[in-house]
Structure 1
Amino acid sequence: DATLILSTDASDYSIGGVLYQEINGERKNIYFHSQMLPKLQRKWPTIEKEALAIYYSVTRMKLYLLGREFIVQIDHCPLCDMHKKPSNNRRVDRISLILQQYNIKEIRHVHGKCNGMADYLSRFPRQLEDDDEFIEHDFGDIPAVQYPTTKSTSTNYQQIKTHMLGAVVTRAQAKANVNLNSPTIPDSTIEEASCLNDQPLQGEGHEFDVSTIAKAQKEDKLYQTKILALQENPNKCTYILENEILYKLSKTGIFTQKLLYVPPTMIQ
């Protein structure tokens, strides 16, 4: 069997990892993982974030790695011997102790530009709502890994896989694919299709116009609760009210996005 290679990386606010094999000189990706770091861990030094990237990725890919020999590939040289001898960092040593149950053959250092996939995953993470940390009683402050259900795992994996495949297609390749696969379509036909797509579908759920959503929100109990919380402490509330419509503030790294709150009565 080809050797399993786990490539990991960490940014200021998230981590990423990709598990793959090299078969006959061709890279075969097996598993992608990316997630936000809890707020407290974003303040940790770089060496500790890089160690967390290994921990999170190995734990997430446990079914593939437990009982098998594999290589960890990183672009942070000070961690290359963390599985062999103690370091001068308490958190790194605790993570290394937890990883003793895995058969890590080598922690290999590579140049940053050769670690592109893990670097990409660490900069465009999947968003996690929960910023809480899990206290591992035997080893101290170690973050929890949330495992979704089988259905959501499959869905998320497909979404990540599709997103990643799209990310590595160059513009030249994309243009060539369009020219090869798409027949010539008159501009008038494209404009008509665009107009049709802009119209709400009839008979399929609700039409999400502003007036309907505003009315449904005001009849919702959660809406009323969030409005009270917003009035009492607007600086700590994760919701915002604009034009009498409630939005949730969603943070991904350094970016903040407004998400429309849709009441349960409008969800089928």
Structure 2
Amino acid sequence: AEPLRKFVPTTRTQQKKGQKTIITLTDDELKAFNQRKQFLTTDMVLRLPNNRFPFKVQTDASDEGIGAVLLQIYPEGNRPIAYLSKKFTQAQRKWSPMEQECYAFICSLDKWHNYLSGIKFIWETDHKALTQLNQKAQVNKRCERWRLKIVEYDFKVKHIPGLTNTMPDYLSRSPVDEAEEDPDEVSLLISKSTQTDFLDINNHSSIVTAVQTRAMKLRNRSLNDKNDTTILSSDTLNKENRTIPISIEQFIQAQQNDNYAKKILNNIKNYKHYIINDNLLMRRTNPPVPYVPQGEIRKTILNIYHDTAANGAHFGRDKTMYKIKQRYFWPSMYKDIDNYVKSCILCAQFNPRRQKTPGTLKPIQPPDGVW
């Protein structure tokens, strides 16, 4: 086989060692050189942020990743301030297009929070379904969670054709930054309706629970059987259930004072998910559990099953939810439990960190590109 160089035409710059070559540019080469100078001195160069001009965010998503551009609207046109280009994880590739497009905007806000927080700006996207993101609740649960996360920002959503969304489109098709899992960080919410003080439950003589044992014989009975839910005294309870210092009569009285419970009690035939057992409103589950009215009872239940050493031991959201839903029900219990656990000071202070601790400081390598 002949060497490859025999089939490659030599160039005018290929000379022997030590010889100098005078380079003469052709018209095409000179045109390309001038274009390069133009690119380096016009729109393609990043501008420094200037608060006198409004900001604009353009985003897009593809099968590979997301792209975004932070722009400012100058009198002579849009000028780029920063770029974002990130790959998708394997899980994120399976998201719906709406979720991927929304995720691009969420990442943009996380990266450019210092520029966009506290000011009005425009978000331009070619996904028309997201134009109502900041106007109404979303059916998609992931997008709804993100919508609640970005309520602090003041922005207007504008739909643009995909043909004009070129910069984010290119950045999304050739992503640069490595993929990251969505941290699912929701602002710490302290619910005044659920956070309570610590209750002392060492005195079991006054404790009467409302509701269910978890004996297997009760699980196998019919939902409509009146024996499904028994009025239990402290003598018939095991130690696990001796937790709620509320009598059955107090429970029934609290339900009768609750507007939502009264509505169901007066129209029980219209609510197929509820039954009445000895004047106690129950949720039709297997086994049935009582409806917990608003007020101090919910606070007490949350405190007992999360804070107390006897029953709660400061377990996380899922374990606390599992223990409570075995015995009680109210419509917003998942949200209340989630907020209660997140607002627990002891959990925040003593739970171990799941992330790797920061390492020592190292020199920052200069980026290869503008983003």
Shift of 1:21: 1.2
2:170 is matched with which residue?
Answer: 120
Inter-partner Cα distance in structure 1 for 2:164 and 2:362? 33
In the superposition, relative to structure 1, how do residues 38 and 83 fare at CA in structure 2: closer, same or farther (>3 Å)? same
Report the CA distance shift for 1:93/1:135 in structure 2 as closer, same or farther (over 3 A).
closer
CA distance in 2, matches of 1:138, 1:18: 26
Residue 37, structure 1, aligned to residue 37, structure 2 = no
Cα RMSD (Å) of the superposition? 2.7
The superposition leaves residues 112-169 of structure 1 with CA deviations (integer Å, 9 ceiling, x where unpaired) of 01000010111111141x65442436699xxx9xxxx8964x823xx322xx8xxxxx
Q: For the Cα contact (< 8 Å) 1:17–1:121, is it kept in 2?
A: yes
1:108 aligns with: 158
SS in 1 for 2:66: strand
Q: Which residue of 2 aligns with 1:96?
A: 147
% identity of equivalent residues: 30
Deviation by residue 1:201-232 (Cα, 9 ceiling, x = unmatched): xxxxxxxxxxxxxxxxxxxxxxxxxxxxxxxx
Partner of 1:160: 369
Q: Report the Cα distance in structure 2 between the residues aligned to 1:150 and 1:117, rounded to whole angstroms.
A: 32
TM-score when scaled to structure 1?
A: 0.51
State the SS of the aligned residue for 2:369: helix
The one-letter amino acid of 2:124's match is Q
2:150 aligned counterpart, secondary structure: helix
Residues 92 and 103 from structure 1, CA distance in 2 versus in 1: closer, same or farther, beyond 3 angstroms? Answer: same
Cα pair 1:32 1:160 within 8 Å, conserved:
no
Instruction: Please identify the structure whose Cα radius of gyration is greater.
Output: 2
Sort the Cα spacing of 1:133 and 1:53 in 2 relative to 1 into closer, same or farther, 3 A.
closer
Structure 2 contact 68–83 (Cα < 8 Å) conserved: yes
Please list, as runs of the form range in 1=range in 2, the aligned pairs for 1:1-268 lying within 5 A after superposition. Answer: 1-104=52-155, 106-128=156-178, 131-136=180-185, 152=364, 155-156=366-367, 159-161=368-370
Task: Indicate how the Cα distance of structure 1 residues 151 and 66 shifts in structure 2: closer, same or farther if over 3 A, else same.
Answer: farther
CA shift in 2, pair 1:67/1:150, >3 Å: farther
State the one-letter code of the partner of 1:155: P
**Please, what TM-score do these two structures have when normalized by structure 2?**
0.38
**Distance change >3 Å, CA 133–CA 100, structure 1 → 2:** closer
CA contact 2:61–2:104 (8 Å) conserved in 1: yes
Q: Which has the higher helix share?
A: 1
Structure 2 Cα separation of the partners of residues 69 and 151 of structure 1 = 36
1:112–1:136 distance in 2 versus 1, CA, 3 Å? same
Once residues 133 and 126 of structure 1 are traced to their aligned partners in structure 2, the CA distance between those partners, rounded to angstroms, is: 17
- Larger fraction in strand: 1
Q: Which has the higher relative contact order, 1 or 2, with Cα contacts under 8 A spaced 6 or more apart?
A: 1
Give the Cα separation in 1 of the matches to 2:181 and 2:115: 27
Q: Extract unaligned runs of 5+ from structure 1.
A: 165-268
Q: Taking structure 1 as reference, are residues 114 and 63 closer, same or farther at Cα in structure 2, changes over 3 Å only?
A: same
Shift in CA distance, 131/81, structure 1 to aligned 2, threshold 3 Å: closer
* 1:100 to partner: Cα distance: 0.8
The one-letter code of the counterpart of 2:110 is T
**Contact 1:75 1:112 survives alignment (8 Å):** yes
Displacement after TM superposition at 1:103 (Å): 1.4
Deviation at 1:50, TM superposition (A): 0.4
Give the partner amino acid of 2:113.
Answer: K
Q: Residues of 2 paired with 1:107 and 1:62: CA distance? A: 17
- Which one-letter code corresponds to 1:134 in the other structure? P
